Amino acid sequence: MIRKNSEYPLQPPRERGTGRAFAFALVMHALLGFFLYHGIQWQNGTPEGAEAELWTEVPDSAIPRPPPAPPVPVAPAPPVPDEQADITLQEKKRQQQEVARQAQLLEQQRQQKLQAQQEAKAKRQQQLAAEQAAQLAAQKAAAAKQKQLQQQAKKLQQQLADQQKQQELKEQQEDQQKQAQAEVQKAAKAKAQADAAAQAKKVDAERRARLAQMMQGSAGGTGSTDGLGKSGTGTGSGGNATSLGYSDKVRRAVRPNISWGGETSGLETVVSVRCSPTGTLLGASISRSSGNAAWDDAALRAVQRTDPMPQDINGKTPTSFLITLRPAS
């Protein structure tokens, strides 16, 4: 049976019982040499001659007998030829050559096994070195990629931080703008309120002065007012007469709708207004121009935007009245 060796795959198959047969052959050759040696030494000796005496019983007859023949000399045994020894020596030499050849073959097989082992070891070392180099290259590539990712993440974080700072600055600017606009609007509102209060005081003073003049004059006839006021004849359904505070209501309603950024001195426009009793504006026109067409248009637009007009204390709006408008100074 052939047994495979997993450690040395290039080892030739080895038959069972080879060692035992080799030992047995050695023993047999040793015995054969021993017997041949002693046999050849024994046959090389010169054989000794043998002498024998023959005695016969002499009959008592007087017949003469022939004399006995002389003994035949024994020839020495011929020596054993050396051919057998040569054959034995040649056989022994052949066996020794066979043994040497087997030993040489075994040595060659051992050298082949050793060389195969060395080649396999070198190949394994090369594979291991290649694997280590590949692993090292993969580690370097992973480290470089990780470093690149870290740099990209850092750059992205820096960009996000910059964007956040820009957004914060933008929000701060917007807040500042809003605050500035709020302050401007607040200042404008405060100025408008102050102007309105001053104008109200002025109108109230004028109204009081006119009221004093009216009380001193006659009680009948028609009446008119200057500034933001009213004018009527006291005729028509429900009459056009207004209360003393109605002019202030109209002024407060129209004043926020005035949009004017030009000069303010010496401008005065009178607007004629027609309304329904519910305050719906039916028409408005320039009754007396200020001489400045732009201001006249601004005053007329402010009146047209005031729709409906405020109602008087009786719950109705005069059907027609005049409004005198001056730009706020």
pLDDT per position as a tens digit, 67-90: 666 665 655 555 544 567 777 888
Q: Is the peptide bond before 308 cis (omega within 30 degrees of 0)?
A: yes
What pLDDT score does 133 carry? 92
What pLDDT score does 117 carry? 92
Tell me whether strands 281-288 and 231-232 are parallel, antiparallel or unpaired.
unpaired
Q: What is the pTM of this model?
A: 0.30
What pLDDT score does 134 carry? 92
Q: Taking 70 as the threshold, does the pLDDT of residue 127 lie above it?
A: yes
- 259: tokens are 């949009």
Q: Return mean pLDDT, the chain.
A: 75
Q: What share of the chain is helix, strand, coil (3-state, %, to 5)?
A: 55, 10, 35
Structural domains of the chain in order of their starting residue, each with its CATH number: 224-325 (3.30.1150.10)
What pLDDT score does 236 carry? 30
Mean pLDDT, rounded, for 257-273: 85
CA distance 284 to 273: 5
What pLDDT score does 323 carry? 85
What pLDDT score does 208 carry? 66
Q: pLDDT category, 233, cuts 50, 70, 90? A: very low
Q: Find the range with the poorest average confidence among 175-179, 200-204, 208-212, 309-313.
A: 208-212
Q: Find the range with the poorest average confidence among 29-33, 137-141, 157-161, 225-229.
A: 225-229
Q: Find the range with the poorest average confidence among 15-24, 118-127, 226-235, 243-252.
A: 226-235
What are the pLDDT digits (tens) for 281-305?
Answer: 898 999 998 888 889 899 899 998 8
Mean pLDDT, rounded, for 18-38: 83
